[in-house]
Amino acid sequence: MLPISPADNSNANTPPSLPPLRKRWYKVLYIQVLIAIVAGIMLGWLYPDLGKDMKPLGDAFIKLVKMIIAPVIFLTVVTGIAGMSNLRAVGRITGKALIYFLCFSTLALIVGMVVANVVQPGAGMNIDPASLDPSKVSGYLKKAHDSTVTGFLLNIIPETLISPLTSGDVLQVLFVAILFGISIALVGERARPVFDLFNALSMPVFKVVSLLMRAAPIGAFGAMAYTIGAYGIKSVSNLAALVATFYITSLFFILVILGIVARYNGFSIFKLIRLIKDELLLVLGTSSSESALPALMQKMERSGCAKPVVGLVIPLGYSFNLDGTNIYMSLAALFIAQALDIHLSFGHQITLLLVAMVSSKGAAGVTGAGFITLAATLTVLPELPVEGMVLVLGVDRFMSECRSLTNFTGNAVASIVVSRWDKQLDEQRLQAVLDNPELLEQPEA
């Protein structure tokens, strides 16, 4: 085997000698997105019908971003793996990432379960299970039954070598990219023209990402106007205790638990949040963490994380590192039990946790995964009627933003931690960028 050495990109990991000029405030992306979110909320609140008509703006932006996700992942992973001096590192990085994901996904489930038992947001509602309408969640139940772990694993294998690039399935793209990257490295110098082509192609692809991000305020405006117009702010008040408990728990998980992990690994969670604030606001506005996936991969790589680690950890994290979704599942399941006056013993709750660990992987990557994984969990726990999902259906849309934000932040932390764990983190570059995020606006050489 003759591995291909990547072209010299040391300039990308070296802080520029001259700081970039600061943009005027109204040209800063996160300010534009923030203004768009506020404008969308106001429109949906004051003119609900008009707000619902804004839905195509949000849908169009998410489609634009999904269009570029597959090429970004494919090129990042292929060039990263092909440039490795030791292909065993691929398995090593993947193994470390999965161990990290398993630990923190389980911890998120436990945190949600503990908070639900302490706060008991559903206590006192005294709802009769017979009064619930199962037809409202029948569609989610079908998807939950279809989303088995075996089916999920088999779905990773695509129909053809190039079909993932058109279907957009993240894990299928990752699977093909790993195979292709390993193949280029094994062929050696004879494959250098292909490697150089992909390396050069990655630059205009990421430029496309930058261009698409300019439309982020429009997408955030449309998505938020539709959400408020269609569901209304008043619908949150009926289940305010559950929504507030979930948001506070997720904030605790990010700032305290992930904060401790960040501090142990030599960086500040608050500085990281500041670094990815543009992407976080985009996720908040669109309720989709996928809308910011390409930008996050580019930002983490330019912040000092190794390209192979970013290419493997972040796409894998979108299916296996769903901290927000796991908090939601355990919290919502116990909320339903409390609201229906159903006592769950400690053994039942442990069963719930184990089932949720599996079902969260089985339904990963499915649209509306948070609600579908909840359905999958309840279907195998006979003590809880699945019809109880109706109780959280009305506020699920408002909780999806928090799920996406928590998942997104967890994957940003994971990319740094696994890079450091694998000794492929440029810590000097990371600290420079965290202290001065404007450094990323300097064009790469």
CB 373 within 8 A of CB 329: yes
CA distance 192 to 5: 9
Helix (H, G, I), strand (E, B) or coil at 110: helix
DSSP secondary structure, 417-429, as one string:
HHHHHTT-B-HHH
CA distance 2 to 176: 21
Query: Helix 88-119 crosses helix 323-339 at what angle (to 10 degrees)?
Result: 30
What per-residue confidence (pLDDT) applies to 136? 57
Unique residue bearing structure tokens 């990219």:
177
Alpha carbon dihedral 337, 342, 343, 347, in 10-degree steps, equals: -60
As assigned by CATH, the class of the 30-441 domain is: mainly alpha
* Residue ranges, the chain, pLDDT below 70: 1-23, 25-26, 85, 125, 129-152, 233-239, 358-372, 376, 379-381, 394, 442-445
In terms of Cα–Cα distance, which of 71, 59, 37 is closest to 291? 59
CA distance 243 to 241: 6
Alpha helix stretches (DSSP H) within 47-133: 48-52, 55-82, 88-119
In terms of Cα–Cα distance, which of 106, 393, 120, 128 is closest to 236? 393
Q: How many CA atoms lie within 13 A of 282 on its CB side?
A: 27
CA distance 100 to 342: 34
DSSP secondary structure, 129-172, as one string:
GGG--GGGGHHHHHHHHH--HHHHHHHTS-SSSSHHHHH--HHH
CB 98 within 8 A of CB 312: no
CB 17 within 8 A of CB 205: no
CA distance 225 to 227: 6
What per-residue confidence (pLDDT) applies to 445? 47
> Can you read off the two tokens belonging to residue 81?
């793996």
CA distance 163 to 101: 28
> Can you read off the two tokens belonging to residue 353?
């946790």
Domain boundaries of the chain, sorted by first residue: 30-441
Measured between its terminal Cα atoms, the distance across the chain in Å is 31
CA distance 325 to 362: 13
Indicate left, alpha or beta for 14 from its phi (over 0: left) and psi (-120 to 50: alpha). Answer: beta
